[in-house]
Structure 1
Amino acid sequence: SSPSAAGQRRETRPSAPRSAARRPGLGLGLGLGLDLAELARVVGETADPILAAELARRTAPPAPPEPPPQTLPTAELLAALPGRHDLILVVARRLCEETGDFQPASLRTFEKMAEAVATRAVPPEVLIDCRRQALSPQAGHKGKVLVAAWKRDTPHVLKSGGPLS
């Protein structure tokens, strides 16, 4: 708010963003305000490849849903982790189940390991190998072996030209 020339305070409100529904000539999708029938007619008349691709996209059947991450084998789940922050907790819980280590501190550690892979700071192969070591028959306390293998293997990855070096 700012004082006006008459010495009174004038209240100003920030203008609300204009939505596509209120702008004349603009609709959702293409921004042309065309429904499916109009789009099909324009594509038939013009043979525009961009509009044809949009028509194909709109009329294509929906992609099949992704299977729930809990149903994936662990190796596939870990391989799918880079760039998938939504899988961090799923992976951490899976590591708790596989190692039999359900301590809160272990869960947080496993979350940090999964986060490092999800952010691509560490390749998934490193976590896959650490898991393999932890689940070997020689491992006494699988959770401790997993953490020790992780601590041993990750500094080498980061120093040898990894994303953080």
Structure 2
Amino acid sequence: MGTDIGGSIRLPGTWLGLATLKPSYGRIPLDAPYLGRAAGPMARTVADAALFMGVLSQPDPRDWTSLPPQDIDWSAPSGEVRGLRVGVHLDAGCGEPCDAEILAAVNRAAAVFEAAGAVVEPVEPFMRQDLLDDLDLFWRVRSWNDFRALTPEAGLRVHPHIIRWCQGART
């Protein structure tokens, strides 16, 4: 289980080879809602993630931002992809360039979807370095405020790298 605003479900899942889902905001109730944060499963298989969603998406009155209950069959799909639109995103628009081996693997996967009848379309970059810098500043400010609110004892448990990073928001 993870929560995600800017990739906290999807990125670890990608790096670890897990099946993940960032569902629509509010589909999984949170006991401490935070606008923009969605919760979702991280599992070894798509079937396990689907099973988990059946439990996670149940109503919880503590979350005033949650979506209305809906009877959704989260079971793993049949595998039919004919006619589905599949976006292939090869360039984020900033950050480090993608490794050639990874690009080749993604292109091979796209070819499999296309051969199965999916409509495969490239997804253009959506991020720029200045937007990424602004997002970083947002998280530094939020983290600095959280860090300052800790007791001195709790502050000692925060990794020094995190402290240095969020201190960049003190200006």
TM-score (norm 2): 0.21
Q: Which has the larger radius of gyration?
A: 1
Relative CO higher for 1 or 2, CA cutoff 8 Å, sep ≥ 6? 2
Greater percentage in helix? 1
Greater percentage in strand? 2
